[in-house]
Structure 1
């Protein structure tokens, strides 16, 4: 195929794939357009079969891990773990007027959402925790808006800590020789800095909402006892320990995630709480197909000129100015073509520079998407979840909040990363 025609076709397929993902009608999976787009890319020669197979082999362990974590999170929800989180947040926020309840609930949401995102991935925060937060705010008689926007922002910016927190992190871990513990050590300070900036700005931005009671609803109800389901909690803890062990042994973390999902899955099936079909549904097979197909389409775009153009823009080195420039470029690209394609494009260009530039890319593609709906699939999913619960989301509010949080969070997190690299070597 002619080079110019291949480039135009690749870009068109990518835009069609992302456009469908952004405007996806209900009950229509993202894979409905992505898979045919990948097939067209290979069939027309926009991407060679060898390069498509290479992408599939590279993403295989990542997709297996994602499937296992989705099942694990769904089973934790079925066991009542997120219901217990809601009861704990209500208890932690109870005991004073609406302003006090709302501010304490915001702090509790930040704690729970940050840990949920870090341990069980950003999709868990969006799909399973956000409805719990909405119900908890209604139970306490406070406005839900600050707490819901906190869930959206933390599903992105709080996904920096562990390789398992975000699909982008897993892709980055495959590009540089970092262990699970080493990754967490380098990203701990940027993670804390990003969360602190988000908390300060969201508390200021929604100050009026945090002072007012909800106009409708049953009023404060916070007497539900907190019954923590120990079995799923211990299983999640053991799975986290398994991530550390498998990483140190050079084994894919998907095996540890699969073990945790298997333990809870066997228990659920044995007790009649789930069926094998339900577990397969929880794995999100259409979404996994979308991720793989998107990677093939992005590879077509990269092979047909994008890598060469971006190669001139990516700075080299691990100095603070270079890291800031890489993170800013990644954030910009994430808001233009979504964070998953952005990381797929930038990793091959930054990996030769070592861990510093690659982790700076993660700061950009994980914090940057808070600037626009299209920045990450998690944000699009969050919007759909709220629409399903008849809660209105305003584009202007989301954009203004993003403009206030993203620049300081990104700059300060990059500075924190630069410090961690210097401190830990």
Structure 2
């Protein structure tokens, strides 16, 4: 393999190792800059290619920054804690109704605030509430992880993979949701039934006596702002206004409100935005663009199936799953989606099924999986590889197949 192809691949490996190790923000940003610089030094990308990559990624990264701030303020305001309390009280301490409520809450948080909010902010609340109530935390924790990947199908803003794909789709925000809603519906049924089966013993336990009671009221302002933000996404999309501008307004409004209430300082808002990670994502885009123009991009293009039937869409979804678990779904999106764009919307949406649902197959499929694991370790409940794969290997293939079938029937 020529050096011009080896260097971008080596740079991508360095970025993935860094992402898995999750060092300090400065180290993360430095590795990203060095990897991008090494890729550019090969000359594999011309200046117009670099401009196109940054222009494409810029709005996506800005959305990531602003939605992380929105989610952080929601967490600080007690929104997730109050929602979990409502579910606990409605279920009267019984594991099955509480699990059902957590499952639906995790799906809703993922769809509206993105999967990162589910794994980073909601999962600790769910685990802590379950332990405090004397019930098993495992069903709720795994529901959060499964929904972080599988429920990110619904809206363009639910996952960065969707946002990266949107410029290659002839769909507005609302049209994307309409296409993916029936797909998500069947996936939710499969995921819910599968989790209930796998955790049937924990969900059949009797409620612990004397559990915590009393519910904190849902904070009104964050609820209203998030609701208006969601409406804004749908209204702005037909006019070509990127979601990042809507989420930016929502983030600014919530930061102003939270500062007035003493919930955060300016430094807290900057930290919540994770600027080093945003720079890391931009550098990742440059590196993957270099790979896409080389031998790996050629090989992927050669194996792409033709046709638009169930078999072709399933093959695309499986290829996307493979690439996501090799390179993470974000890298795989940058590599695969531009190659599929000429084949039409159905091909790109099939890839998103693999990039979102399929990324739940292994820890390496998505950075969200690693963040979920790291969060449970911090809470003192480290998940074993066996426990993780017991769920992922059984549910992911079934969910992926029924999702592709639903997509093919509605195309």
For residues 7-61 of structure 1, the C-alpha deviation after alignment (integer angstroms, 9 at most, x for no partner) is: 1111111111112211334777643422211111112324344322321111111
| Aligned counterpart for 2:380 among listed residues 380, 385, 390 | 390
Instruction: Check conservation: 2:119, 2:148, Cα contact below 8 A.
Output: yes
What are the ranges of 5 or more consecutive residues in structure 1 without an aligned counterpart? 96-100
Mapping of residues 30-109 of structure 1, within 5 Å: 30-94=28-92, 101-109=94-102
Partner of 2:304: 314
Q: CA deviation at 1:350?
A: 0.7
Q: CA deviation at 1:73?
A: 0.8
Partner of 2:359: 369
For residues 212-233 of structure 1, the C-alpha deviation after alignment (integer angstroms, 9 at most, x for no partner) is: 479xxx9652411241111110
Instruction: Check conservation: 2:26, 2:276, Cα contact below 8 A.
Output: no
Distance 1:26 1:278, change over 3 A: closer
Greater mean alpha carbon deviation, residues 311-320 or residues 229-238: 311-320
Partner of 2:15: 17
Partner of 2:165: 172
Find the residue that maps to 2:2 and give its secondary structure: helix
How far apart in 1 are the matches of 2:297 and 2:25? 35
Distance 1:62 1:26, change over 3 A: closer
How far apart in 2 are the matches of 1:227 and 1:20? 40
How far apart in 2 are the matches of 1:27 and 1:349? 32
Mapping of residues 182-201 of structure 1, within 5 Å: 182-201=175-194
What are the ranges of 5 or more consecutive residues in structure 2 without an aligned counterpart? none
1:336 partnered with 2:326: yes
Distance 1:226 1:25, change over 3 A: same
Partner of 2:144: 151
How far apart in 1 are the matches of 2:133 and 2:188? 24
Partner of 2:409: 419
Distance 1:162 1:220, change over 3 A: farther
Partner of 1:98: none
For residues 101-133 of structure 1, the C-alpha deviation after alignment (integer angstroms, 9 at most, x for no partner) is: 111121011110000000000000011100100
For residues 233-271 of structure 1, the C-alpha deviation after alignment (integer angstroms, 9 at most, x for no partner) is: 011110101001110211111111111111111112233
1:298 partnered with 2:318: no
Instruction: Check conservation: 2:150, 2:356, Cα contact below 8 A.
Output: yes
Instruction: Check conservation: 1:139, 1:219, Cα contact below 8 A.
Output: no
Greater mean alpha carbon deviation, residues 33-42 or residues 408-417: 33-42
Partner of 2:247: 257
Q: CA deviation at 1:334?
A: 0.6
How far apart in 1 are the matches of 2:22 and 2:260? 36
Partner of 2:153: 160
Find the residue that maps to 1:273 and give its secondary structure: coil
- Scaled by the length of structure 1, the TM-score of the pair is 0.93
| Aligned counterpart for 2:315 among listed residues 325, 341, 346 | 325
Q: CA deviation at 1:272?
A: 3.0
How many residues are paired up? 411
Partner of 1:401: 391
How far apart in 2 are the matches of 1:383 and 1:30? 19
Runs (4 or more) in structure 1 with deviation over 4 Å come to 25-29
Instruction: Check conservation: 2:28, 2:277, Cα contact below 8 A.
Output: yes
- Scaled by the length of structure 2, the TM-score of the pair is 0.96
Partner of 2:259: 269
For residues 291-337 of structure 1, the C-alpha deviation after alignment (integer angstroms, 9 at most, x for no partner) is: 11111111111111112111111112322211111111101111111
